[in-house]
Structure 1
Amino acid sequence: MIRITDTVKHLIIINVIMFIGTIAIGHGELFYKWFALYFPKNDLFQPWQIITHMFMHGNVAHIAFNMLALWMFGSAVEQQLGSQKFLFIYISAGLGAVFFQLAFYYFHYFSLQSSLVESGIGVSELQEILTTNKSARQFSAEQMKNVQGLFDVYYASMVGASGCIMGILAAFGMMNPEAKLMLIFLPIPIKAKYFIPGIILLDIISALTGQSFFSPSNTAYMAHVGGALTGFIIMWYWKKTQFNKNRWY
């Protein structure tokens, strides 16, 4: 049985406390309003959400799966790297996940906005439509589709430790490339050096096509990619400079 390490244990406790607070206070809405990460153009966005959303979860299955992964892979990584390096990867991967997901949202948002402006709808009018959900004009089918896309991004919220855990998973894979892993829904052992890149590739495909493979359709796929890539870059740098005075302690 995998021994749970101290930092992993503390992270799990924080996540569980936040989840209990979410369901026990404010009918499941107050904690979301305060601590989930909202699209920065939305008035609900607050700077602290960049960190707090990493400790929020949507439902029991969401937190259970993430905490199981944190226990399994996080404990192994912390044992190999130590608590400081483990925590550095964990938080950095969470920030990398935010950067990738928000960049993806912004690209999508401004692409839709540009199409709507070209069709004759002003930016100020679009902002009013988004904040009031009202409009005096009639939309064409294409305009309506684009407006709905804007709504989806504008009111999107992000919660979960998945980005952090993907960074830890990438670190685990780089240190244990021959370790055999498998999905619950695909119980076939696959070496980590193939398994982890495969998961990242599926996330990229899901983000670009909207086709979900093993995750719920509302998953922030690019957050997974950003977290994994951040973990990979950190581990690559540490490995490259392990005998260099610039290495991180």
Structure 2
Amino acid sequence: MFPLRDHNPSGSTPYVVYLLMAANILGYLWYSTSFATDRSLMMFYDSFAAIPREIMAGEAPLTLLTSMFIHGGLMHLAGNMLFLWIFGDNMEDEMGHLPFLLFYVVCGVGATLAHVVSAPSSNVPLVGASGAIAGVMGGYLLMFPKAQVDILIILVVFFRIVPVPAFVMLGLWLGMQFIGGVGADPSLGGVAYWAHAGGFLIGLALTLPLWIARGGPRFWRRTDGHPPHPETHLSSSRIPRVRRIPRQPGPWGK
């Protein structure tokens, strides 16, 4: 099950999302091609990835930030950038550019600390933007629980694009992180499930003031959980470009 896009077009240019994507992609192109040996590449990871044992000892605090811009491979990078592209523009639109950037960084640092707490003695480097992006997803769930998200379902030879409410897709994703976290030893490497879950919950909590400012439960009742602007309905077989319909004065205005 892969998310492809949402039906929730942004009303402004997501400059911060573009900047973050460029930093992650250009950074990957640099460090994945700049080291002649695997040993030198691993030394790079050791220097800039977050290592729980070092963080617990008060060492290398800047890796809480630098680790958010390092990825372990092309698919790791591509998956994270896809999720940021789908959910980040709407959160930046709601929060504003600089507040969204601060939100993203705080979610990423908090997610890393959640992983450190789950495996305080681990020497395995932690890399990736997924903790910060999980925070974006948590905020999105609070603001737009019924926004439609197109997901690609693959069952052996069966391929189908199906629109589902955001709370279904994001709820399943969060549940998978808890299930994976309970069944895995975070000190052995692999997927940082508790970083994902922690980032998601931190993002949801940090978005609460914005949600309350929009009216809290009244905001949900007014929009029925959908975005506070017209959604574009798409065919399940095609995914054309979506443009925001100009907002009309009324109860959904802000």
Name the TM-score, length of structure 2 as normaliser: 0.67
Q: Could you tell me how far 1:49 is from its partner in structure 2?
A: 0.6
Question: Distance between the aligned counterparts of 1:185 and 1:37, measured in 2?
Answer: 34
Matching of residue 95 in structure 1 with residue 104 in structure 2: no
- SS of residue paired to 1:159: coil
Cα 1:182–1:201 change in 2 (3 A) is farther
Moved more, 183-192 or 80-89: 183-192
1:60-139 correspondence runs (5 A) = 60-106=74-120, 109=121
The alignment-based identity, stated in percent, is: 27
Cα 1:163–1:185 change in 2 (3 A) is farther
2:126 corresponds to: 158
Question: Distance between the aligned counterparts of 2:46 and 2:27, measured in 1?
Answer: 13
Structure 1 stretches of at least 4 aligned residues deviating more than 4 Å after TM superposition: 1-4, 182-188
**Letter of the aligned partner of 2:193 in structure 1?**
Y
Cα 1:242–1:76 change in 2 (3 A) is closer
Matching of residue 21 in structure 1 with residue 30 in structure 2: yes
Cα 1:242–1:192 change in 2 (3 A) is closer
1:30-66 residue CA offsets vs partner (Å, 9 max, x unmatched): 43122111123489x5211110000000101111111
Indicate the RMSD between aligned Cα atoms, in angstroms: 2.7
1:222-241 residue CA offsets vs partner (Å, 9 max, x unmatched): 00011101110011133335
Q: Could you tell me how far 1:190 is from its partner in structure 2?
A: 2.8
1:156-215 residue CA offsets vs partner (Å, 9 max, x unmatched): 11100000111111112222111123554565433112332321121011011139xxxx
Equivalent of 2:167 in 190, 193, 196: 193
Name whichever structure is richer in helix by fraction. 1
**Letter of the aligned partner of 1:180 in structure 2?**
Q
**Letter of the aligned partner of 1:196 in structure 2?**
L
Name the TM-score, length of structure 1 as normaliser: 0.69
Are the equivalent residues in 2 in contact too, given 1:22–1:32 (CA < 8 A)?
no
Question: Distance between the aligned counterparts of 2:151 and 2:196, measured in 1?
Answer: 16
Q: Could you tell me how far 1:25 is from its partner in structure 2?
A: 2.5
Question: Distance between the aligned counterparts of 1:224 and 1:52, measured in 2?
Answer: 17
Matching of residue 175 in structure 1 with residue 143 in structure 2: yes
Question: Distance between the aligned counterparts of 2:118 and 2:183, measured in 1?
Answer: 13
Question: Distance between the aligned counterparts of 2:171 and 2:132, measured in 1?
Answer: 16
Cα 1:182–1:220 change in 2 (3 A) is farther
Unaligned runs of 5+ in 2: 155-160, 216-254
Q: Could you tell me how far 1:78 is from its partner in structure 2?
A: 1.2
Whichever of the two has the greater Rg, that structure is 1
Are the equivalent residues in 2 in contact too, given 1:178–1:193 (CA < 8 A)?
yes
In the alignment of these two chains, the number of paired residues is 192
Q: Could you tell me how far 1:12 is from its partner in structure 2?
A: 1.0
